[in-house]
Amino acid sequence: MTWLDTPSTAFEGSRCIASGALREVARATKSVVDRWASSVSPPPILIFEDATSEVIELDWRGTLADFEARLNALDPAMTQAMPPVPAQEAPVAADAPRGPGRPKLGVAAREVTLLPRHWEWLARQPGGASVALRKLVETARLGSETKDRIRHCGAVTYKFMSTMAGHEPGFEEASRALFAGDQAGFVARVAAWPIDIQAHLSQISTDAFAA
């Protein structure tokens, strides 16, 4: 998936313009921006990345053809400008020798600082310290997966709320219900907000109440 395929949603004030791949949402939003070009007080027109609620900034100048040319030119820059892989994280070369029977795991060597009693305990575990540490980390990761997803979704939902509904009645109460995992309370607090904002919140907040 390229940058222009990023799931996004655009708003003209509190009205949803379009939702879908960024390339399609941006085209639809461009026509709205042009319609307000001569107005002295246009409503805020914003595009949000659905996964993060970050506002996507675009250069709306010129004709639709000019805009689309700039938009397409951005895509390679966004997809190819990847940060270099740190040396310590580089995967083991394909022809590097391995011990007999050991699968290539793609592991990365990092420094770990532990107390002596921790190293002693790890040394007594089947497979040694590395295997034991990997098992412990994997168990912790799986155990916190749901909490991490709820926390992330809550943050994404709150970011959108703060931008689009910070002035709406019941905002503070809705925020408290969100972080308390109170879905019924949250829905009740946002019920008087503009319908398109409610709909987007319903879409992006699902995992915030997963518990």
What pLDDT score was predicted for residue 135? 75
Q: What is the pLDDT of residue 85?
A: 45
Name the pTM for this structure. Answer: 0.71
Q: Please give the Cα distance from 84 to 169 (Å, whole number).
A: 46
Provide the 8-state DSSP code for 60.
-
- Residue from 93, 109, 102 nearest 127 by CA: 102
Looking at residue 211, its pLDDT comes to: 63
Listed in sequence order, the residues at least 6 apart from 128 whose beta carbon sits closer than 8 Å to its beta carbon are 122
pLDDT digit string (tens) for 77-132? Answer: 444 544 554 544 444 444 445 555 445 556 677 777 877 888 778 778 887 778 87
Average pLDDT of the residues of the chain: 85
pLDDT under 50: residue ranges of the chain: 77-79, 81-82, 85, 87-96, 101-102
Is 160 in contact with 48 (CB distance < 8 Å)? yes
Distance CA 53, CA 121 (A): 44
Residue 110, pLDDT score? 76
In three-state secondary structure terms, 102 is: coil
Please give the C-alpha separations between residue 52 and each of 6, 49, 108, in angstroms, as whole numbers.
11, 6, 28
Per-domain residue ranges for the chain?
3-80, 116-209
